[in-house]
Structure 1
Amino acid sequence: MFRRHKPSSSEHKRDLAIHGPALPHNDTRSFFSLSQLVLSAGHLKPPPVLRHSKTTYFEVEILDAHSKKQICVVDKIPPSSTLLDVKHKFHKVCPQWSPSRIGLRLERNGSYLRDSVNIKALAASSIITLYFTDMGQQVTWTTVFLTEYTGPLLIYLLFYLRLSSIYDAKESARSLRHPVVHLACFCHCLHYTRHLLETLFVHKISEGHTPLKNMIKGCTFYWGFTSWLAYYINHPQYTPPSFGNKQVTISALVFLLCEAGNHFINVALVHQNQSGNKGSFPSPSINPFTWLFLFVSCPNYTYEIGSWMSFTVMTQTLPVGVFALLMAIQMAQWARKKHQLYLKKCATYRWRKRAMIPFIL
């Protein structure tokens, strides 16, 4: 009988070195499938390289406008920042100056820059030099308007009550008030109440600030003239208008029409600003009070002057006439500036329009 040849250990090692270890049938099929999968996948792609965008930051050097000495340097300002952002960072470095007190200019004698100016628009290089001026104590525009309008409302009522500290008590008790005195008080209170309500609920007042001294000047003007005209209208020896009730009635109706027109014009201007079309001239609507837009650029000033002129005729007093004249001069200047602005911005603007008074001014 033949014996089965048993390979020696040396022969077994030689076969492993030449042919490799023998694989079972299932393992061979799995290895073949894996090889086909790798070949079909193609070359392995390296992971994408992340490219970081380079953001250029600005450095703002702030100098004193008077001495030209450096106050501080505000660094790492993004290009999307505004001048208001720079003021806030400046305030963190120098807490003694609030953002509302900080006035910044590109040149020492130049104009002050607006808070909404983009810092990128000011940059000629990565370093921006600005000149600082302390603007003093500041107040918001809403505070200015509310203070200027609340004062005349309360001051006039004090004179209307004929306080003994203002008028002689015996003389006030003897004299009866003419109906125009009551009507004048109603019209005056209506005028300033309308201003207060429009300031709170109609006008979109800027969030900017103005120096406190400007508010003091405005209050001195409004409060002083209110005291002057209220003293004469409510005086016990006040003389009623020369043409009696007819003069009072007509002027009172004109006053009420002007007050209504002023309100509707202000509402129309607010709607124009909300629509985002600030560069165009507001067009009249079906409201007859807005038809004045066809003839003048600033009908709100037209109605305002109309109110004070009719109030002058109704009361027939010199202080009211002086106040109306000064208001007309000031508003004529504002209207001309706004009229010129419309002429520059609006290519289709009608040249036959006037600033404030139709066909005249």
Structure 2
Amino acid sequence: MGQPDLTLRLQPRGKPLPNLPGEITVPADASIDAVYDAVARKTKYPVHRLRITRSDSSHLQRSSSTTVTAANLFDGSSLFIKDLGPQIGWRTTYIIEYLGPLLIHPLTLYLLRPFLYTYLPYPPPPLATTHASASTTPPTRAQTTLCAMITLHYIKRELETIFVHRFSAATMPATNLIKNSAYYWSLGGLLLAYTLYYPTAADTADYLYYPGLALWIFAELSNFSTHMTLRGLRRPGSRDRGIPTGYGFSTVTCPNYSFEVLGWFAVAAVAGGSLPALGFALFGAVVQANWAGMRERRYRKEFGDKYKKKKWVLIPFVV
């Protein structure tokens, strides 16, 4: 004989869900994913919009392999259902975010430059050596290189988003798209492009240009390597989590962030120490240090003694 069915009591957490039944009945060997699917059918909400917690407020994580009984749910157990609001896919979000600077930089340098600086002010000396006309002054070696570097960086990120990244969560709140896109489109796109490509007779000195370019190539290749390591931790279509090891991961928690930050400081070097470029790199370092710290705490909580704790999360001997 099979295991008896279990009745799970359902209650809304937060705002009411109009179609939420008071209870559902599921087989004892049903997966947690099956519970989510059953609640989604009853409420007529997309499954990714729902968050289910136990009576102790712990999150009932979606899983296709964990059964109801293995999750310590019994006949009469109470579950609380929360509407997370409109959701958007992580992959879609990344594609839209990166599309902004990917288009803005080449458009600014090669199409809009002759018009943009005619009608808008641009920095006086020492940020710009001269106020030469954008229509008659060709881009410098550094400016064409910077545009290529930044464009290739975001092409790489788009391709990684489509073909490399495997996400533990399918969606995020749709409102995050506005916040995240504002960062990439305004700071990394409009502001950075405007300050990098203004007409100037000066070019970046060789002692900054060539080391910066070499450092950027190293950072981009290393960043890609860490992304491939992270990809290998998760089976296609799964939400598996694993402990990353290998290149970079023995030193800091998130070397993928470390190489990302290093790449943007290399961009600033090729830009001749541009203050906006340095500011963008520093701001990104602060944000990613915070993310890396959260990742370190999550690893310690999730994997316990199996995880080798890291003293540095982003930059060795710094943070």
Q: TM-score surpassing 0.5?
A: yes
> Deviations for 1:214-264, whole angstroms, at most 9, x for unmatched residues?
1221111111112100011122248544xx132111111111111111111
Partner residue, 1:100:
48
Which structure has the larger Rg over C-alpha atoms? 1
Partner residue, 2:13:
65
**Is the contact made by 1:279 and 1:346 (CA closer than 8 Å) also made in structure 2?**
no
Q: Aligned equivalents of 1:312 and 1:79: distance in 2?
A: 58
Q: How much has 1:342 moved relative to structure 2?
A: 4.7
Q: Aligned equivalents of 1:81 and 1:232: distance in 2?
A: 57
Indicate whether 1:302 and 2:258 are aligned: yes
Supply the AA of the counterpart residue of 1:133: K
Q: How much has 1:131 moved relative to structure 2?
A: 2.3
Alignment CA distance shift 1:128-1:342 (3 Å):
closer
Q: Aligned equivalents of 1:272 and 1:210: distance in 2?
A: 21
Supply the AA of the counterpart residue of 1:229: L
Choose the corresponding residue for 1:228, options 191, 205, 220. Answer: 191
Residues 261-270 or 343-352, more deviating: 343-352
**Is the contact made by 2:15 and 2:83 (CA closer than 8 Å) also made in structure 1?**
no
| Superposition pairs of residues 47-66 of structure 1, within 5 angstroms | 53-66=1-14
Partner residue, 1:322:
279
**Is the contact made by 1:122 and 1:128 (CA closer than 8 Å) also made in structure 2?**
no
Alignment CA distance shift 1:296-1:312 (3 Å):
same
Q: How much has 1:298 moved relative to structure 2?
A: 2.1
Q: Secondary structure at the match of 2:232?
A: helix
Alignment CA distance shift 1:318-1:131 (3 Å):
same
Supply the AA of the counterpart residue of 1:166: L
Supply the AA of the counterpart residue of 2:79: L
Q: Aligned equivalents of 1:238 and 1:107: distance in 2?
A: 67
Q: Aligned equivalents of 1:105 and 1:215: distance in 2?
A: 26
Supply the AA of the counterpart residue of 2:194: Y
Indicate whether 1:113 and 2:91 are aligned: no
Alignment CA distance shift 1:59-1:93 (3 Å):
same
Q: Aligned equivalents of 1:99 and 1:352: distance in 2?
A: 36
Partner residue, 1:253:
214
- What percent identity do the matched residue pairs reach? 24
Partner residue, 1:189:
151
Q: How much has 1:305 moved relative to structure 2?
A: 0.9
Q: Name stretches of at least 5 consecutive residues in structure 1 with no aligned partner.
A: 1-52, 284-289
Q: Aligned equivalents of 1:135 and 1:348: distance in 2?
A: 32
**Is the contact made by 2:6 and 2:75 (CA closer than 8 Å) also made in structure 1?**
yes
Alignment CA distance shift 1:111-1:233 (3 Å):
farther
Q: Aligned equivalents of 2:235 and 2:49: distance in 1?
A: 29
Q: Secondary structure at the match of 1:172?
A: coil
Partner residue, 2:102:
153
Q: How much has 1:351 moved relative to structure 2?
A: 5.9
**Is the contact made by 2:168 and 2:241 (CA closer than 8 Å) also made in structure 1?**
no
| Superposition pairs of residues 1-361 of structure 1, within 5 angstroms | 53-66=1-14, 71-95=20-44, 97-107=45-55, 110=57, 112-116=59-63, 118-121=67-70, 124-163=73-112, 166-168=116-118, 171-206=133-168, 208-225=170-187, 226-237=189-200, 240-241=203-204, 244-273=205-234, 279-283=242-246, 290=247, 292-315=248-271, 316-342=273-299, 345=303, 347=305, 354-361=312-319
Q: Aligned equivalents of 2:87 and 2:316: distance in 1?
A: 38
> Deviations for 1:258-289, whole angstroms, at most 9, x for unmatched residues?
11111112212323445999554413xxxxxx
Q: Secondary structure at the match of 1:55?
A: coil
Residues 121-130 or 253-262, more deviating: 121-130
**Is the contact made by 2:49 and 2:83 (CA closer than 8 Å) also made in structure 1?**
yes
* Equivalent residue pairs, number: 298
**Is the contact made by 1:281 and 1:342 (CA closer than 8 Å) also made in structure 2?**
no
Q: How much has 1:341 moved relative to structure 2?
A: 4.6
Residues 77-86 or 184-193, more deviating: 77-86
**Is the contact made by 1:308 and 1:324 (CA closer than 8 Å) also made in structure 2?**
yes
Alignment CA distance shift 1:178-1:165 (3 Å):
closer
**Is the contact made by 2:9 and 2:23 (CA closer than 8 Å) also made in structure 1?**
yes
**Structure with higher RCO (Cα < 8 A, 6+ apart):** 2
Supply the AA of the counterpart residue of 1:236: P
